[in-house]
Chain A
């Protein structure tokens, strides 16, 4: 299991979702991915994408104006 970070700052949805989707293709079961976004829409879209595709949202937190969404990869 490894921990990864994805910079999706200034991207507008659905780009953070596309980047998350493409990054997760490279990851292994159980890996953790922190997606750093600035578009608040990502808070709805990334969890929706994760639910559809069977990945787990561990949580999210806001740091300054940034949003960090943590996904656990389930393959």
Chain B
């Protein structure tokens, strides 16, 4: 009996992986999706935090893509393993703290492991939505073989959207898929993909500007580097990387920074950290919740209260009462004069 051949697809939630799977389905290949959650993925969470995002559709695009395709999706938490990729990328970083090439190698490598584990169910090759020239760091003609080799995928990694520009892979050589029906897309032009999407009837697909990762975002990367510098170590936890997405970050002294909520949604989110961090907010006037990350001396409480008060409705008042809540300690209220806009120095803003 001939063994059935199935593919596992790396699903980011974007258009390319959606199309790559559809191209395979057209050839009768059964596909399941795999999505790796590094903690830095744009999908999901931050939509839920801020007020102004409330009207936006809160959908996870990887799940949406899987549903459009009628495939199963396995979401894998790789937060811990990913630290090594981010902290020590063999191929370096892109324009910001984005280790795109190492990240892609890591994800394909994880997919190889998944294929090995599920070989008995018929899985024996991997597909991605990669397109040569699509991304400046990871998706170039030279990087395609690097990803195949260093991930250990070798000839079982098929890129249906640009396969015709690359050497034949095992699924093509063995006749599991017809190379003639694959594509030869290249470059940053998205028109061929958009035309193909239209042909297949896909609408409302996601088109995130910076790709699928917060690490490609300059402001986010700057905050991450500041966090490491402030702590004197590049260690990080899940809470750290979440908090980098919330509030305005102000570091008035090297030893600590303030995270000040920008709206009620963020204040509510920060409330969840009250047991771990010192938090403060104005009680005489409406104002945001802020938390202190780092080591602060109690002598600096008045100073930080003045900064936080500047972001509330009491900013022009002569006196504002600010309440500090310390984990496992009594609350403390200080009466201070808010700092003026000029006194909150520009260089403090992370």
Chain A residues with a Cβ under 8 A of chain B: 10, 12-15, 17-18, 21, 38-41, 43-45, 48-49, 51-53
Task: Judge whether A12 and B77 touch: CB under 8 Å.
Answer: no
Residue of B whose beta carbon sits closest to that of A14: B44
**What 16 new A-B contacts, CB under 8 Å, besides A38-B272, A48-B59, A52-B72?**
A10-B272, A12-B44, A13-B43, A14-B60, A14-B63, A14-B75, A15-B45, A18-B76, A41-B48, A41-B58, A41-B60, A44-B60, A45-B44, A45-B58, A45-B59, A48-B64
Task: Judge whether A51 and B67 touch: CB under 8 Å.
Answer: yes
B260: CB under 8 A from chain A?
no
Which residues of B have CB within 8 Å of A17?
60, 63, 75
Residue of A whose beta carbon sits closest to that of B268: A65
> Can you sample 14 A-B contacts with CB below 8 Å?
A12-B44, A12-B49, A13-B44, A13-B45, A14-B35, A14-B45, A17-B60, A39-B45, A39-B48, A40-B48, A48-B59, A48-B60, A52-B63, A52-B73
Chain B residues with a Cβ under 8 A of chain A: 35, 37, 41, 43-49, 57-60, 62-64, 66-67, 71-77, 242, 272
A interface: dominant SS: helix
9 cross-chain pairs, A with B, having the tightest CB-CB distances, nearest first = A12-B45, A13-B44, A48-B63, A41-B58, A41-B48, A45-B60, A44-B58, A10-B272, A14-B44
Which residues of A have CB within 8 Å of B73?
49, 52-53
| Complex-state Cα separation, A12 to B242, whole angstroms | 9
Residue of A whose beta carbon sits closest to that of B76: A18
Min CB distance A65 to B, Å, is 8
A17-B75, A48-B67, A52-B71 given as contacts; is B48 within 8 A of A12 (CB)?
A: yes
Min CB distance B298 to A, Å, is 28
Which residues of A have CB within 8 Å of B37?
14-15, 18
